[in-house]
Chain A
Amino acid sequence: MIHVEKLTKFYGDFCAVDKIDLEVSKGEITGLLGPNGAGKTTTLRMLTGYLEPTSGVIRIKGYSIDDNLLDIKKLIGYLPESAPLYHGMLVYDYLDYIGEIRGLETKKKMERIHQLADLCGLVGIMHKPIGELSKGLKQRVGLAHAMMEDPEILILDEPTSGLDPNQIVEIRDIIRSFGKEKTIILSTHILSEAEATCDRIVIIDRGRIVADGSTESLRKTHGQEKIINISLLKADFDTALRKLGAVEGVTRIENIDPPEPDKLRLKIVSDSADDMQEKIFACIKETDWVLVEFTQEVKSLENIFRELTKEA
């Protein structure tokens, strides 16, 4: 659906996007993740044709961005960061105007506006000026704007930035419900959001792609270490270290701070591909320790993200 090859953008001497290759297939929800200034917005702007790439190839559904820009614009619904809409216009007038520009017939346009008002929860605010709306509502109008022509591709630049948790969930639901049959690319710097909404995550740092894959595969390739936290009563550190350290696959055992009286809290790190829970429990069962806590820590996307994008 979307094919990007060696995409590069320079702002003067500054290289914002550096030879990015990306392939997005139909029906995928792809999250573009990266710290601020990594080149997410620039990449999205080039995909929509708003910025001209310094070099590289963009093909969308076979159309080239240099020769068929207008066809590409018809395929894409785009929501720029912080939804810069016409503040003087009423919500209804604005959607009407977008419908006109998108070339919908009057009847179809009216139907679509009503549909979108329901879908994006705009029914009560259709006759309010956009400038008077709260940030979350503006964002929803922006979503309606992007979805006006029922586009095949939806590109959203930080669709949930600056919203409160309830609004984030609402926007996420809208995106999810829409994403069943559409191709969506969204950028974000909130990891939990990417995890919750996206099928696939592309991490960008300083203009380059540093990781690409589903959340599962990212964890697999970048998160080998498994961590099990246990709390024991009637145990001392040295014996525990000796006994548990002998378990096959365990690489490291640490005390968890802060220490609690009478309670030994341990962090057991292993790099084995097998599940360690069973072996460790078997080891503990042989002793007369009392096990009061046993949790497996999943290496979070946050850790992976930080590892990949930390300053060199």
Chain B
Amino acid sequence: MPQVLNIFKKEIRDYFISPIGYIVICIFLLVTGWFFFATFFIFSEANLRSFFNLLPLTFALVVPAVTMRLFAEELHTGSYEMLLTLPVRLTDVIVGKFLAGAAFVTIMLVPTLAYALSVTFIGELDWGPVIGGYLGAVLLGAAFSAVGVFASSLTRNQIVACIVGMVICFTLTLFDRMVFFFPGRIVEAFTYLAASYHFENISKGIIDSRDLLYFASVIFVSLYGANLVMQTKR
């Protein structure tokens, strides 16, 4: 069996053995649920737009908390030494851990399908943007997980890993809004770097290869960075 799969299975099981997985899921559902239904009846529109609009911010807060333990915990307890002296490649470990984080974030999204279902009871729901939204959410979750893996590789302290991850994710989310006072050209370039911009594109239901490429690049750059960091620890 490929080693990536072994690492993935172990990590995903760890999420559901320890209480932290359930706690994170609960917080995520509480935050998204409250913000969604708090305004839902005011607008009286049958869509999930307010849920998806807020998702990049919620993810920037929650995903780093999911991924913070992936490397930091192993570096702290020293089990990393055990892991790396087993016949595995470092890239297998990084990809396996990243996939486990991304899969956990995806699993976390599953209960929010209830929001979509409850809307169909009240009004006519257009499923196109909803499907696009979920696709965008999975990609966004994966990209932020990769960032989180990178942050976790930097330190043996999980709290530090979480905060560093949050800072990077928030920056990626709010990039386009932070630079509004720059000249138009620069804003355009920065907008392209913002995760929320690409997420909004996909969640409108338009699947453009540029947006897919953006998320793929964030994942690649982050994991490559994690690889470099772990290499220098040897």
Contacts and interface: CB of A to CB of B under 8 A. Distances in A.
B186 to A, nearest CB: 41
Interface of A is mostly: loop
Interface stretch (A82-90, A163-171, A255-263): A82-90
A45 B81 contact: yes
Interface in A290-311: none
Interface stretch (B86-94, B156-164, B220-228): B86-94
Nearest to A44: B85
Chain B CB within 10 Å, residue with most, of A86, A88, A89, A145: A86
Contacts of B6: 97, 100-101
Given A85-B82, A86-B79, A50 B234 contact: yes
B128 interface: no
B17 interface: yes
Chain B CB within 10 Å, residue with most, of A76, A84, A85, A98: A84
A145 B88 CA distance: 15
Contacts of B84: 49-50
Contacts of A101: 3, 6, 86-88
Interface string A93-130: 00001101111000000000000000000000000000
A88 B14 CA distance: 8
A208 interface: no
B10 interface: yes
B44 interface: no
Given A82-B78, A86-B79, A49 B18 contact: no
Contacts of B42: none
Contact of A84 (B1, B79, B234): B79
Interface in A62-85: 70, 73-74, 76, 78, 80, 82, 84-85
A80 B78 contact: yes
B17 A49 contact: no
A173 interface: no
A52 interface: yes
Interface residues of B, number: 21
Contact of B77 (A45, A49, A73, A87): A87
Given A50-B234, A51-B234, A97-B10, A84 B82 contact: yes
Contacts of A97: 6, 10
Contacts of B86: 73, 98, 101-102
Contacts of A145: 82
A188 interface: no
Interface in A179-217: none
A15 B3 CA distance: 35
Contacts of A49: 84-85
Given A73-B85, A97-B6, A103-B1, A84 B18 contact: no
B87 A88 contact: no
A48 B18 CA distance: 31
Chain A CB within 10 Å, residue with most, of B18, B81, B82: B82
Contact of B85 (A48, A85, A87, A88): A48
Contact of B81 (A50, A52, A76): A50
A70 B87 contact: yes
Given A70-B87, A101-B86, A80 B77 contact: no
A84 B85 contact: no
A49 B6 CA distance: 21
Interface in A207-238: none
B234 A102 contact: no
Given A50-B234, A52-B234, A84 B81 contact: yes
Contacts of A84: 77-82
B75 to A, nearest CB: 10
A105 B211 CA distance: 42
A88 B82 contact: no
Interface in B150-201: none
A74 B87 contact: yes
A147 to B, nearest CB: 13
B95 to A, nearest CB: 15
Contacts of B82: 78, 80, 84-85, 145
Contacts of B14: 86, 88
B89 A70 contact: yes
Contacts of A45: 81
Interface of A: 45, 48-52, 70, 73-74, 76, 78, 80, 82, 84-89, 97-98, 100-103, 145
15 contacts: A50-B84, A50-B85, A50-B234, A51-B234, A78-B85, A84-B79, A84-B80, A84-B82, A85-B79, A97-B6, A100-B1, A101-B3, A102-B86, A103-B1, A145-B82
Given A49-B84, A50-B234, A80-B85, 5 more contacts: A70-B87, A76-B85, A80-B81, A84-B80, A97-B10
Q: Which 3 A-B pairs have the closest CB atoms?
A: A84-B78, A52-B234, A73-B87
